Chains A and B, each alone.
Chain A
Amino acid sequence: MSNRFDFLIIEEMVELGSKVLDIGCDDGSLLKMLQDKKKVDARGIELYSDRVNLCLEKGLPVVQGDANFDLEMYPDNSFDYVILSKTLQSVNRPRDILEQLLRIGKKAIVSIPNFGHWKVRLYLALNGQMPMTPSLPAKWYNTENIHLCTINDFLSLCDEINIKIIKSVALDRNGAQLNFANRIRSVNLIGEQAIFLLKKNND
Protein backbone atom coordinates (compact mmCIF):
# COMPACT_ATOMS: atom_id res chain seq x y z
CA MET A 1 0.00 0.00 0.00
CA SER A 2 2.82 2.43 0.77
CA ASN A 3 3.56 2.40 -2.94
CA ARG A 4 0.16 3.84 -3.72
CA PHE A 5 0.71 6.81 -1.40
CA ASP A 6 3.96 7.38 -3.22
CA PHE A 7 2.15 7.32 -6.58
CA LEU A 8 -0.49 9.84 -5.51
CA ILE A 9 2.16 12.36 -4.53
CA ILE A 10 3.95 11.84 -7.84
CA GLU A 11 0.70 12.28 -9.69
CA GLU A 12 0.21 15.65 -8.00
CA MET A 13 3.67 16.76 -9.06
CA VAL A 14 3.21 15.96 -12.75
CA GLU A 15 1.60 18.52 -15.02
CA LEU A 16 -1.19 17.61 -17.41
CA GLY A 17 -0.09 16.50 -20.89
CA SER A 18 3.61 16.37 -20.10
CA LYS A 19 6.20 13.88 -21.32
CA VAL A 20 7.31 11.43 -18.66
CA LEU A 21 10.02 8.77 -18.40
CA ASP A 22 9.71 6.32 -15.51
CA ILE A 23 12.95 4.54 -14.75
CA GLY A 24 12.39 1.16 -13.15
CA CYS A 25 8.72 1.30 -14.12
CA ASP A 26 7.97 -2.23 -12.88
CA ASP A 27 4.57 -3.40 -14.22
CA GLY A 28 3.73 0.08 -15.51
CA SER A 29 1.11 0.88 -12.81
CA LEU A 30 2.40 4.40 -12.21
CA LEU A 31 2.80 5.19 -15.91
CA LYS A 32 -0.66 3.87 -16.65
CA MET A 33 -2.13 6.02 -13.88
CA LEU A 34 -0.32 9.10 -15.18
CA GLN A 35 -1.46 8.30 -18.70
CA ASP A 36 -5.09 7.96 -17.62
CA LYS A 37 -5.28 10.85 -15.18
CA LYS A 38 -2.68 13.29 -16.44
CA LYS A 39 -2.76 12.43 -20.17
CA VAL A 40 1.02 12.18 -20.19
CA ASP A 41 3.15 10.86 -23.04
CA ALA A 42 4.45 7.93 -21.02
CA ARG A 43 7.73 6.03 -21.50
CA GLY A 44 9.45 3.54 -19.26
CA ILE A 45 12.65 1.62 -18.62
CA GLU A 46 12.51 -1.71 -16.83
CA LEU A 47 15.24 -4.21 -16.06
CA TYR A 48 13.20 -7.42 -16.13
CA SER A 49 11.65 -8.77 -19.32
CA ASP A 50 8.56 -10.27 -17.65
CA ARG A 51 7.70 -6.84 -16.27
CA VAL A 52 8.32 -5.25 -19.68
CA ASN A 53 5.70 -7.63 -21.04
CA LEU A 54 3.20 -6.50 -18.39
CA CYS A 55 3.78 -2.91 -19.56
CA LEU A 56 3.34 -3.81 -23.23
CA GLU A 57 0.00 -5.41 -22.41
CA LYS A 58 -1.06 -2.05 -20.97
CA GLY A 59 -0.03 -0.39 -24.23
CA LEU A 60 2.90 1.39 -22.61
CA PRO A 61 6.13 1.88 -24.54
CA VAL A 62 8.81 0.40 -22.31
CA VAL A 63 12.42 -0.40 -23.07
CA GLN A 64 14.16 -3.23 -21.30
CA GLY A 65 17.25 -1.66 -19.86
CA ASP A 66 19.41 -0.96 -16.87
CA ALA A 67 19.39 2.46 -15.18
CA ASN A 68 23.10 1.96 -14.53
CA PHE A 69 24.02 1.83 -18.21
CA ASP A 70 21.18 2.79 -20.50
CA LEU A 71 20.30 6.37 -19.55
CA GLU A 72 23.02 7.70 -21.81
CA MET A 73 20.97 6.86 -24.88
CA TYR A 74 18.39 9.53 -24.11
CA PRO A 75 19.00 13.01 -25.51
CA ASP A 76 19.23 16.10 -23.26
CA ASN A 77 15.94 17.60 -22.06
CA SER A 78 13.88 15.01 -23.92
CA PHE A 79 11.35 14.68 -21.10
CA ASP A 80 9.42 17.07 -18.87
CA TYR A 81 9.78 14.68 -15.96
CA VAL A 82 12.05 11.75 -15.31
CA ILE A 83 10.82 9.62 -12.43
CA LEU A 84 12.98 7.38 -10.31
CA SER A 85 10.72 5.73 -7.80
CA LYS A 86 12.48 3.90 -4.97
CA THR A 87 15.32 2.88 -7.24
CA LEU A 88 18.10 5.34 -6.37
CA GLN A 89 19.20 3.18 -3.46
CA SER A 90 19.85 0.21 -5.74
CA VAL A 91 21.94 1.81 -8.49
CA ASN A 92 25.74 1.64 -8.68
CA ARG A 93 26.41 5.38 -8.68
CA PRO A 94 23.45 7.31 -7.27
CA ARG A 95 25.14 10.67 -7.75
CA ASP A 96 25.75 10.08 -11.47
CA ILE A 97 22.22 8.82 -11.90
CA LEU A 98 20.76 11.95 -10.30
CA GLU A 99 22.77 14.06 -12.72
CA GLN A 100 21.58 11.92 -15.63
CA LEU A 101 17.96 12.39 -14.57
CA LEU A 102 18.30 16.15 -14.78
CA ARG A 103 20.14 15.95 -18.07
CA ILE A 104 17.36 13.91 -19.69
CA GLY A 105 14.49 15.61 -17.90
CA LYS A 106 13.68 19.25 -17.31
CA LYS A 107 12.59 18.09 -13.90
CA ALA A 108 13.06 14.90 -11.94
CA ILE A 109 10.91 13.16 -9.37
CA VAL A 110 12.82 10.93 -6.99
CA SER A 111 11.40 8.90 -4.17
CA ILE A 112 13.51 7.15 -1.53
CA PRO A 113 12.92 4.89 1.41
CA ASN A 114 14.24 6.77 4.45
CA PHE A 115 17.03 4.90 6.22
CA GLY A 116 16.88 7.52 8.96
CA HIS A 117 13.45 6.32 10.12
CA TRP A 118 13.41 5.72 13.88
CA LYS A 119 12.64 2.01 13.51
CA VAL A 120 15.71 1.54 11.33
CA ARG A 121 17.85 3.42 13.83
CA LEU A 122 16.40 1.50 16.74
CA TYR A 123 16.89 -1.85 15.01
CA LEU A 124 20.59 -1.14 14.57
CA ALA A 125 20.96 0.30 18.06
CA LEU A 126 19.20 -2.56 19.83
CA ASN A 127 20.20 -5.55 17.70
CA GLY A 128 23.56 -4.41 16.47
CA GLN A 129 22.64 -5.83 13.07
CA MET A 130 21.83 -4.34 9.69
CA PRO A 131 18.20 -3.20 9.90
CA MET A 132 15.38 -5.17 8.34
CA THR A 133 11.91 -3.64 8.21
CA PRO A 134 8.69 -4.45 6.35
CA SER A 135 9.74 -2.05 3.58
CA LEU A 136 13.38 -3.22 3.63
CA PRO A 137 12.93 -6.94 4.19
CA ALA A 138 16.14 -8.35 2.65
CA LYS A 139 19.31 -9.42 4.49
CA TRP A 140 22.39 -7.24 4.08
CA TYR A 141 24.09 -9.80 1.84
CA ASN A 142 21.29 -10.26 -0.64
CA THR A 143 19.63 -6.87 -0.72
CA GLU A 144 19.44 -4.91 -3.98
CA ASN A 145 19.57 -1.77 -1.87
CA ILE A 146 23.28 -1.13 -1.93
CA HIS A 147 23.11 2.65 -1.46
CA LEU A 148 20.51 3.34 1.18
CA CYS A 149 20.37 6.87 2.54
CA THR A 150 18.44 9.05 4.91
CA ILE A 151 16.36 12.07 3.96
CA ASN A 152 19.16 14.23 5.34
CA ASP A 153 21.75 12.45 3.21
CA PHE A 154 19.66 13.04 0.12
CA LEU A 155 19.23 16.72 0.88
CA SER A 156 22.99 17.19 1.31
CA LEU A 157 23.74 15.39 -1.95
CA CYS A 158 21.33 17.66 -3.84
CA ASP A 159 23.01 20.65 -2.25
CA GLU A 160 26.43 19.34 -3.16
CA ILE A 161 25.65 18.82 -6.84
CA ASN A 162 23.63 21.98 -7.23
CA ILE A 163 20.20 20.45 -7.54
CA LYS A 164 17.26 22.57 -6.51
CA ILE A 165 14.48 20.90 -4.57
CA ILE A 166 11.21 22.41 -5.74
CA LYS A 167 9.03 20.30 -3.54
CA SER A 168 9.59 17.66 -0.89
CA VAL A 169 7.02 15.41 0.69
CA ALA A 170 7.64 12.84 3.39
CA LEU A 171 5.12 10.19 4.33
CA ASP A 172 4.80 8.31 7.58
CA ARG A 173 3.97 4.63 7.60
CA ASN A 174 0.25 5.36 7.25
CA GLY A 175 0.83 7.50 4.20
CA ALA A 176 0.13 10.75 6.05
CA GLN A 177 2.11 13.71 4.77
CA LEU A 178 4.64 15.25 7.13
CA ASN A 179 5.40 18.95 7.18
CA PHE A 180 8.95 19.51 5.99
CA ALA A 181 9.27 23.19 6.87
CA ASN A 182 11.77 23.74 9.69
CA ARG A 183 11.29 20.21 10.92
CA ILE A 184 13.85 18.24 8.96
CA ARG A 185 15.11 16.47 12.07
CA SER A 186 11.73 15.04 12.98
CA VAL A 187 10.78 14.33 9.38
CA ASN A 188 13.99 12.35 9.02
CA LEU A 189 12.98 10.42 12.12
CA ILE A 190 9.33 9.59 11.40
CA GLY A 191 9.24 9.75 7.60
CA GLU A 192 9.22 6.24 6.12
CA GLN A 193 9.69 7.51 2.60
CA ALA A 194 10.15 10.82 0.85
CA ILE A 195 9.37 12.15 -2.59
CA PHE A 196 11.24 15.07 -4.15
CA LEU A 197 10.57 17.24 -7.18
CA LEU A 198 13.94 18.42 -8.47
CA LYS A 199 15.45 20.70 -11.06
CA LYS A 200 18.87 22.04 -11.92
CA ASN A 201 19.74 25.08 -9.82
CA ASN A 202 20.98 27.12 -12.74
CA ASP A 203 17.75 26.77 -14.75
Chain B
Amino acid sequence: MTKLVKYTTNDFNLASGKSISPLEIAYETYGKLNKDKTNAVLICHALTGDQYACAINPITKKPGWWDILVGKGKPIDTDKYFIICSNVLGGCMGTTGPKSQNLITNEPYGLNFPVITISDMVKSQVLLLDHLEIPKVLTVIGGSMGGMQVLAWMSEYPDRIKSAIPIATAAYHTSQNIAFHEVGRQAVMADPKWHEGKYFEHNTSPEKGLSVARMTAHITYLSEVALQNKFGRNLQNRAKKTFSFDADFQVESYLRYQGVNFVKRFDANSYLFLTRAMDYFDLISENDGVLANAFNDLNASVCVISFTGDWLFPSIESKKIVHALNSKGVDVSFIDIESNKGHDAFLMDEPAMFKTIRGFLEAQYVK
Protein backbone atom coordinates (compact mmCIF):
# COMPACT_ATOMS: atom_id res chain seq x y z
CA MET B 1 0.00 0.00 0.00
CA THR B 2 1.36 3.37 -0.93
CA LYS B 3 2.34 5.69 1.89
CA LEU B 4 0.54 8.99 2.18
CA VAL B 5 1.46 12.17 4.02
CA LYS B 6 -1.06 14.96 4.37
CA TYR B 7 -0.44 18.63 5.06
CA THR B 8 -3.45 20.53 6.28
CA THR B 9 -1.97 23.11 8.62
CA ASN B 10 -0.65 25.59 6.10
CA ASP B 11 -1.44 26.45 2.53
CA PHE B 12 1.10 25.14 0.09
CA ASN B 13 2.15 28.21 -1.88
CA LEU B 14 2.94 27.84 -5.56
CA ALA B 15 5.15 29.70 -8.01
CA SER B 16 2.02 31.03 -9.75
CA GLY B 17 1.00 32.85 -6.56
CA LYS B 18 -1.86 30.43 -5.93
CA SER B 19 -1.90 27.81 -3.23
CA ILE B 20 -3.16 24.30 -2.53
CA SER B 21 -4.72 23.00 0.65
CA PRO B 22 -4.72 20.29 1.74
CA LEU B 23 -1.71 18.77 0.05
CA GLU B 24 -1.25 15.05 0.02
CA ILE B 25 1.92 13.32 -1.14
CA ALA B 26 1.85 9.66 -2.08
CA TYR B 27 5.24 8.00 -1.86
CA GLU B 28 7.07 4.71 -1.61
CA THR B 29 10.26 3.84 0.21
CA TYR B 30 12.55 0.87 -0.33
CA GLY B 31 15.43 -0.30 1.87
CA LYS B 32 16.33 1.07 5.29
CA LEU B 33 17.50 4.47 6.41
CA ASN B 34 20.81 4.09 8.26
CA LYS B 35 21.44 5.53 11.72
CA ASP B 36 23.35 8.55 10.44
CA LYS B 37 20.74 9.15 7.71
CA THR B 38 23.44 9.27 5.06
CA ASN B 39 22.06 6.70 2.63
CA ALA B 40 18.88 8.30 1.35
CA VAL B 41 18.36 8.38 -2.40
CA LEU B 42 15.52 10.48 -3.76
CA ILE B 43 14.21 9.34 -7.13
CA CYS B 44 12.25 11.84 -9.23
CA HIS B 45 9.97 10.28 -11.81
CA ALA B 46 9.33 11.42 -15.37
CA LEU B 47 6.12 12.76 -16.96
CA THR B 48 4.09 9.57 -16.83
CA GLY B 49 5.95 7.79 -14.05
CA ASP B 50 4.81 7.16 -10.51
CA GLN B 51 6.06 6.39 -7.02
CA TYR B 52 6.49 2.67 -7.79
CA ALA B 53 10.12 2.91 -8.88
CA CYS B 54 10.98 -0.73 -8.21
CA ALA B 55 9.61 -4.11 -7.14
CA ILE B 56 6.13 -5.00 -8.33
CA ASN B 57 3.79 -2.10 -8.99
CA PRO B 58 0.68 -3.06 -6.96
CA ILE B 59 -1.64 -1.51 -9.52
CA THR B 60 -0.25 -2.81 -12.82
CA LYS B 61 1.23 -5.99 -11.23
CA LYS B 62 4.26 -5.35 -13.41
CA PRO B 63 7.80 -4.42 -12.29
CA GLY B 64 8.21 -0.76 -11.28
CA TRP B 65 9.33 1.70 -13.96
CA TRP B 66 12.98 1.69 -12.86
CA ASP B 67 13.14 -1.88 -11.54
CA ILE B 68 15.99 -2.52 -13.97
CA LEU B 69 18.14 -0.03 -12.02
CA VAL B 70 16.74 -0.11 -8.50
CA GLY B 71 16.61 -3.18 -6.26
CA LYS B 72 18.61 -5.75 -4.37
CA GLY B 73 22.17 -5.85 -5.74
CA LYS B 74 21.27 -3.41 -8.53
CA PRO B 75 23.13 -0.11 -9.13
CA ILE B 76 20.76 1.68 -6.75
CA ASP B 77 20.93 -1.12 -4.23
CA THR B 78 18.01 -1.43 -1.84
CA ASP B 79 20.30 -3.39 0.54
CA LYS B 80 22.53 -0.37 0.81
CA TYR B 81 20.43 2.72 0.25
CA PHE B 82 17.13 4.06 1.52
CA ILE B 83 15.16 4.94 -1.58
CA ILE B 84 12.33 7.44 -1.65
CA CYS B 85 10.09 8.05 -4.62
CA SER B 86 6.98 10.20 -4.52
CA ASN B 87 4.27 10.82 -7.06
CA VAL B 88 4.74 14.37 -8.36
CA LEU B 89 2.48 17.26 -7.48
CA GLY B 90 -0.19 17.39 -10.18
CA GLY B 91 0.10 13.65 -10.75
CA CYS B 92 -2.69 11.10 -10.65
CA MET B 93 -1.31 8.31 -8.50
CA GLY B 94 -2.20 9.60 -5.04
CA THR B 95 -0.46 12.96 -4.75
CA THR B 96 -2.72 15.98 -4.99
CA GLY B 97 -3.51 16.70 -8.63
CA PRO B 98 -6.38 17.72 -10.91
CA LYS B 99 -8.30 14.54 -10.15
CA SER B 100 -8.15 15.18 -6.38
CA GLN B 101 -11.13 16.56 -4.54
CA ASN B 102 -11.29 20.34 -4.32
CA LEU B 103 -12.63 20.98 -0.81
CA ILE B 104 -14.18 24.29 -1.84
CA THR B 105 -16.29 22.94 -4.69
CA ASN B 106 -16.57 19.38 -3.38
CA GLU B 107 -15.73 17.97 -6.75
CA PRO B 108 -12.45 17.11 -8.48
CA TYR B 109 -10.30 20.12 -9.34
CA GLY B 110 -10.16 19.46 -13.07
CA LEU B 111 -9.07 22.66 -14.79
CA ASN B 112 -9.48 24.56 -11.50
CA PHE B 113 -6.27 22.96 -10.38
CA PRO B 114 -3.58 25.65 -10.29
CA VAL B 115 -0.88 25.51 -12.96
CA ILE B 116 2.14 24.03 -11.24
CA THR B 117 5.86 24.17 -11.97
CA ILE B 118 8.85 21.88 -11.57
CA SER B 119 9.86 24.04 -8.60
CA ASP B 120 6.48 23.38 -6.98
CA MET B 121 7.00 19.63 -7.38
CA VAL B 122 10.40 19.87 -5.73
CA LYS B 123 9.02 22.04 -2.95
CA SER B 124 6.54 19.28 -2.12
CA GLN B 125 9.38 16.76 -2.05
CA VAL B 126 11.17 18.96 0.48
CA LEU B 127 8.11 18.64 2.74
CA LEU B 128 8.36 14.88 2.34
CA LEU B 129 12.04 14.86 3.35
CA ASP B 130 11.15 16.99 6.38
CA HIS B 131 8.42 14.53 7.25
CA LEU B 132 10.89 11.65 6.98
CA GLU B 133 13.37 13.73 9.06
CA ILE B 134 16.12 13.49 6.47
CA PRO B 135 18.26 16.64 6.48
CA LYS B 136 20.30 15.75 3.41
CA VAL B 137 19.96 13.06 0.76
CA LEU B 138 22.96 11.15 -0.54
CA THR B 139 21.71 11.78 -4.04
CA VAL B 140 18.73 13.00 -5.99
CA ILE B 141 18.34 11.26 -9.33
CA GLY B 142 15.92 11.33 -12.24
CA GLY B 143 15.57 11.33 -16.02
CA SER B 144 13.68 13.66 -18.35
CA MET B 145 11.12 15.57 -16.23
CA GLY B 146 12.75 13.77 -13.29
CA GLY B 147 16.04 15.31 -14.40
CA MET B 148 14.42 18.75 -14.42
CA GLN B 149 13.43 18.18 -10.80
CA VAL B 150 17.03 17.19 -10.03
CA LEU B 151 18.24 20.47 -11.58
CA ALA B 152 15.67 22.38 -9.52
CA TRP B 153 16.97 20.65 -6.37
CA MET B 154 20.52 21.67 -7.30
CA SER B 155 19.43 25.25 -7.85
CA GLU B 156 16.96 25.80 -5.02
CA TYR B 157 17.89 23.39 -2.24
CA PRO B 158 21.64 22.85 -2.66
CA ASP B 159 22.13 22.24 1.07
CA ARG B 160 19.73 19.30 1.08
CA ILE B 161 21.71 17.18 -1.40
CA LYS B 162 25.17 15.65 -1.22
CA SER B 163 25.11 14.72 -4.89
CA ALA B 164 22.84 14.83 -7.92
CA ILE B 165 22.36 12.76 -11.08
CA PRO B 166 20.35 14.56 -13.79
CA ILE B 167 19.79 12.20 -16.73
CA ALA B 168 18.59 12.84 -20.30
CA THR B 169 17.37 16.29 -19.40
CA ALA B 170 17.82 19.99 -20.10
CA ALA B 171 17.87 23.28 -18.21
CA TYR B 172 14.86 24.45 -20.22
CA HIS B 173 12.23 22.94 -22.46
CA THR B 174 13.10 23.67 -26.07
CA SER B 175 10.72 25.17 -28.59
CA GLN B 176 10.40 21.80 -30.34
CA ASN B 177 9.58 20.08 -27.05
CA ILE B 178 6.91 22.66 -26.19
CA ALA B 179 5.52 22.13 -29.69
CA PHE B 180 5.18 18.37 -29.21
CA HIS B 181 3.49 18.90 -25.85
CA GLU B 182 1.06 21.34 -27.42
CA VAL B 183 0.07 18.73 -30.01
CA GLY B 184 -0.62 16.30 -27.18
CA ARG B 185 -2.69 18.76 -25.21
CA GLN B 186 -4.68 19.81 -28.26
CA ALA B 187 -5.45 16.15 -28.97
CA VAL B 188 -6.85 15.76 -25.44
CA MET B 189 -8.85 18.98 -25.62
CA ALA B 190 -10.22 18.20 -29.09
CA ASP B 191 -11.80 15.03 -27.76
CA PRO B 192 -15.51 15.81 -27.13
CA LYS B 193 -15.37 13.55 -24.11
CA TRP B 194 -12.94 15.95 -22.46
CA HIS B 195 -15.86 18.32 -21.59
CA GLU B 196 -13.58 21.28 -20.79
CA GLY B 197 -11.82 19.10 -18.24
CA LYS B 198 -15.06 18.10 -16.47
CA TYR B 199 -15.28 14.58 -17.86
CA PHE B 200 -15.73 13.23 -14.32
CA GLU B 201 -19.16 14.92 -14.27
CA HIS B 202 -20.11 12.97 -17.36
CA ASN B 203 -18.66 9.74 -16.08
CA THR B 204 -16.40 9.49 -19.08
CA SER B 205 -12.86 10.43 -20.10
CA PRO B 206 -11.15 11.68 -23.27
CA GLU B 207 -9.51 8.35 -23.97
CA LYS B 208 -9.16 8.87 -27.69
CA GLY B 209 -7.49 12.25 -27.30
CA LEU B 210 -5.15 11.14 -24.53
CA SER B 211 -4.28 8.06 -26.52
CA VAL B 212 -3.29 10.14 -29.55
CA ALA B 213 -1.24 12.41 -27.26
CA ARG B 214 0.57 9.36 -25.92
CA MET B 215 1.17 7.95 -29.41
CA THR B 216 2.81 11.17 -30.58
CA ALA B 217 4.85 11.49 -27.41
CA HIS B 218 5.94 7.88 -27.61
CA ILE B 219 7.50 8.49 -31.02
CA THR B 220 9.57 11.30 -29.53
CA TYR B 221 10.85 8.97 -26.81
CA LEU B 222 12.29 6.53 -29.35
CA SER B 223 14.50 7.01 -32.38
CA GLU B 224 14.21 6.37 -36.08
CA VAL B 225 16.80 3.60 -35.82
CA ALA B 226 15.01 1.98 -32.89
CA LEU B 227 11.66 2.02 -34.70
CA GLN B 228 13.19 0.79 -37.94
CA ASN B 229 15.05 -2.03 -36.17
CA LYS B 230 12.03 -3.08 -34.18
CA PHE B 231 9.31 -2.85 -36.82
CA GLY B 232 10.71 -1.90 -40.19
CA ARG B 233 7.81 -2.03 -42.63
CA ASN B 234 6.57 -5.33 -41.21
CA LEU B 235 2.87 -6.01 -41.46
CA GLN B 236 0.76 -6.85 -38.41
CA ASN B 237 -0.59 -10.44 -38.49
CA ARG B 238 -1.41 -10.30 -42.19
CA ALA B 239 0.26 -11.30 -45.40
CA LYS B 240 -0.59 -8.20 -47.41
CA LYS B 241 -1.89 -4.67 -47.12
CA THR B 242 -5.65 -4.44 -46.62
CA PHE B 243 -6.19 -1.22 -48.58
CA SER B 244 -7.92 0.26 -45.56
CA PHE B 245 -7.02 2.27 -42.50
CA ASP B 246 -6.60 -0.77 -40.30
CA ALA B 247 -3.34 -1.03 -38.40
CA ASP B 248 -1.64 -2.83 -41.31
CA PHE B 249 1.84 -2.03 -40.07
CA GLN B 250 3.31 -3.38 -36.87
CA VAL B 251 4.39 0.09 -35.85
CA GLU B 252 0.79 1.31 -36.04
CA SER B 253 -0.43 -1.56 -33.97
CA TYR B 254 2.32 -0.96 -31.43
CA LEU B 255 1.48 2.73 -31.07
CA ARG B 256 -2.24 2.02 -30.71
CA TYR B 257 -1.43 -0.49 -28.00
CA GLN B 258 0.75 2.09 -26.22
CA GLY B 259 -2.06 4.64 -26.41
CA VAL B 260 -4.81 2.32 -25.20
CA ASN B 261 -2.77 1.06 -22.27
CA PHE B 262 -1.75 4.51 -21.22
CA VAL B 263 -5.27 5.87 -20.84
CA LYS B 264 -6.08 3.03 -18.43
CA ARG B 265 -3.55 4.34 -15.95
CA PHE B 266 -3.33 8.07 -16.56
CA ASP B 267 -5.58 11.04 -15.97
CA ALA B 268 -6.00 13.34 -18.98
CA ASN B 269 -6.01 16.57 -16.96
CA SER B 270 -2.88 15.48 -15.13
CA TYR B 271 -1.27 15.07 -18.54
CA LEU B 272 -2.16 18.68 -19.39
CA PHE B 273 -0.79 20.08 -16.14
CA LEU B 274 2.41 18.05 -16.06
CA THR B 275 3.34 18.79 -19.68
CA ARG B 276 2.71 22.47 -18.90
CA ALA B 277 5.05 22.30 -15.90
CA MET B 278 7.79 20.97 -18.20
CA ASP B 279 7.13 23.69 -20.78
CA TYR B 280 7.49 26.40 -18.14
CA PHE B 281 10.81 25.04 -16.90
CA ASP B 282 13.64 27.41 -17.77
CA LEU B 283 16.57 27.75 -15.40
CA ILE B 284 18.22 30.21 -17.78
CA SER B 285 15.53 32.89 -17.84
CA GLU B 286 14.97 32.41 -14.12
CA ASN B 287 18.61 33.31 -13.59
CA ASP B 288 18.85 36.47 -15.66
CA GLY B 289 19.94 34.65 -18.78
CA VAL B 290 22.94 32.98 -17.16
CA LEU B 291 22.47 29.30 -16.37
CA ALA B 292 25.59 29.22 -14.19
CA ASN B 293 23.88 31.57 -11.74
CA ALA B 294 21.40 28.79 -10.97
CA PHE B 295 24.23 26.98 -9.24
CA ASN B 296 25.83 29.78 -7.19
CA ASP B 297 25.41 27.98 -3.87
CA LEU B 298 25.88 24.42 -5.06
CA ASN B 299 28.43 22.38 -3.18
CA ALA B 300 27.23 18.92 -4.24
CA SER B 301 28.91 16.51 -6.65
CA VAL B 302 26.99 16.21 -9.89
CA CYS B 303 27.00 13.47 -12.51
CA VAL B 304 25.26 14.50 -15.72
CA ILE B 305 24.26 11.68 -18.07
CA SER B 306 23.05 11.95 -21.66
CA PHE B 307 22.53 9.54 -24.55
CA THR B 308 23.91 10.00 -28.04
CA GLY B 309 20.65 8.86 -29.66
CA ASP B 310 18.37 11.14 -27.63
CA TRP B 311 16.99 13.79 -29.98
CA LEU B 312 14.31 15.03 -27.57
CA PHE B 313 16.81 16.02 -24.88
CA PRO B 314 20.00 15.95 -26.95
CA SER B 315 23.48 15.66 -25.44
CA ILE B 316 24.22 19.28 -26.27
CA GLU B 317 21.65 20.35 -23.66
CA SER B 318 23.43 18.28 -21.02
CA LYS B 319 26.72 19.81 -22.09
CA LYS B 320 25.28 23.26 -21.47
CA ILE B 321 24.53 22.19 -17.90
CA VAL B 322 28.06 20.80 -17.52
CA HIS B 323 29.48 24.00 -18.95
CA ALA B 324 27.55 26.10 -16.44
CA LEU B 325 28.58 23.87 -13.52
CA ASN B 326 32.21 23.97 -14.64
CA SER B 327 32.21 27.73 -14.73
CA LYS B 328 31.12 27.71 -11.08
CA GLY B 329 33.83 25.23 -10.16
CA VAL B 330 31.25 22.58 -9.20
CA ASP B 331 32.50 19.01 -8.81
CA VAL B 332 30.87 17.81 -12.03
CA SER B 333 31.17 14.64 -14.08
CA PHE B 334 29.59 14.04 -17.44
CA ILE B 335 29.07 10.99 -19.59
CA ASP B 336 27.45 10.81 -23.00
CA ILE B 337 26.40 7.19 -23.39
CA GLU B 338 26.46 5.64 -26.84
CA SER B 339 22.93 4.42 -27.52
CA ASN B 340 20.47 4.33 -30.41
CA LYS B 341 17.41 3.82 -28.20
CA GLY B 342 16.36 7.47 -28.15
CA HIS B 343 15.23 9.46 -25.12
CA ASP B 344 13.77 6.44 -23.30
CA ALA B 345 17.27 4.91 -23.07
CA PHE B 346 17.35 6.02 -19.43
CA LEU B 347 14.55 3.57 -18.65
CA MET B 348 16.11 0.67 -20.53
CA ASP B 349 18.88 -1.86 -20.29
CA GLU B 350 21.93 0.38 -20.75
CA PRO B 351 24.87 -1.33 -19.01
CA ALA B 352 27.11 1.74 -19.36
CA MET B 353 24.53 3.85 -17.51
CA PHE B 354 24.25 1.22 -14.78
CA LYS B 355 28.03 1.29 -14.40
CA THR B 356 28.08 5.08 -14.22
CA ILE B 357 25.34 5.28 -11.60
CA ARG B 358 26.72 2.43 -9.49
CA GLY B 359 30.27 3.81 -9.55
CA PHE B 360 29.32 7.41 -8.89
CA LEU B 361 26.88 6.55 -6.13
CA GLU B 362 29.30 4.23 -4.30
CA ALA B 363 32.05 6.86 -4.47
CA GLN B 364 29.65 9.49 -3.06
CA TYR B 365 28.53 7.13 -0.30
CA VAL B 366 32.05 6.48 1.01
CA LYS B 367 33.12 10.11 0.58
Which A residues are within 8 Å of any B CB, using their own CB?
43, 49-50, 52-53, 55-65, 73-75, 78
* Interface residue? B34 (CB, 8 A): no
Choose from A49, A57, A63 the contact partner of B362 (Cβ within 8 Å): A57
* A89 to B: closest C-beta gap in Å: 25
Known: A49-B352, A50-B352, A73-B327. A56 touches B332 (CB 8 A): no
Partner of B363, one of A49, A52, A58: A58
Partner of A57, one of B327, B336, B359, B367: B359
Complex Cα spacing A33 to B362, Å: 19
Does the CB pair B356–A53 fall under 8 Å?
A: yes
User: A-side binding surface: helix, strand, loop or mixed?
Assistant: mixed
Q: Are A59 and B334 interface neighbours, CB within 8 A?
A: no
Q: Does B331 contact A (CB under 8 A)?
A: yes
Which of these, A43, A52, A78, contacts B335 with CB under 8 Å? A52
User: Known: A74-B326, A75-B327. Is A53-B336 also a contact (CB below 8 A)?
Assistant: no
Chain B residues 284 to 334 lying within 8 A of chain A, measured CB to CB, are 301, 303, 319, 322-323, 326-327, 329, 331-334
Q: Which residue of A lies closest to B332 (CB)?
A: A61
Q: In the complex, A53 Cα to B353 Cα: how many Å?
A: 9
Q: Does residue B79 face the partner (Cβ distance < 8 Å to A)?
A: no
What 12 new A-B contacts, CB under 8 Å, besides A49-B337, A59-B363, A59-B364?
A49-B335, A49-B352, A52-B335, A52-B356, A53-B355, A56-B303, A56-B360, A57-B362, A59-B366, A61-B332, A64-B334, A75-B327
Of all chain B residues, the one with the shortest Cβ separation from A46 is: B335
User: A59 touches which one: B327, B352, B356, B367 (CB < 8 A)?
Assistant: B367
Known A57-B359, A57-B362, A61-B301; judge A52-B333 contact (CB<8 A): yes
Closest chain B residue, CB of each to CB of A49: B335
Chain B residue with the shortest CB-CB distance to A58: B363
Instruction: Give chain A nearest CB distance to B318 CB in angstroms.
Output: 10
B163 to chain A, nearest CB (A): 10
- Distance between Cα atoms of A64 and B335 in the complex (Å): 5
A74–B326 Cα distance when bound, in Å, is 6
A59 surroundings in chain B (CB, below 8 A)? 363-364, 366-367
Give the chain B neighbours of A60 by CB distance below 8 A: 333
Whether the Cβ atoms of A64 and B352 lie closer than 8 Å is: no
Residue B338 at the A interface, CB < 8 A? yes
CA A50 to CA B337, docked complex, whole Å: 9
Measured between beta carbons, the chain A residues less than 8 angstroms from B301 are 61
B363 touches A63 (CB 8 A): no
Residues of B within 8 A of A55 (CB): 333
Q: Could you say which residues of chain A place their CB within 8 Å of the CB of B367?
A: 59
Q: Which residue of B lies closest to A50 (CB)?
A: B352
Closest to A42 in B: B331
Q: How far is the CA of A154 from the CA of B322 in the complex (A)?
A: 32
Q: How far is the CA of A50 from the CA of B335 in the complex (A)?
A: 9
CA of A154 to CA of B329, assembled, Å? 31
Which residue in chain A gives the minimum CB-CB distance to B362?
A: A57
CA of A65 to CA of B332, assembled, Å:
13
Is A53 in contact with B352, judged by CB distance below 8 angstroms? Answer: yes
Which residues of A sit under 8 angstroms from B335, Cβ to Cβ? 49, 52-53, 56, 64
A56 B338 Cβ-Cβ under 8 A: no
Are A56 and B356 in touch, CB under 8 angstroms? yes
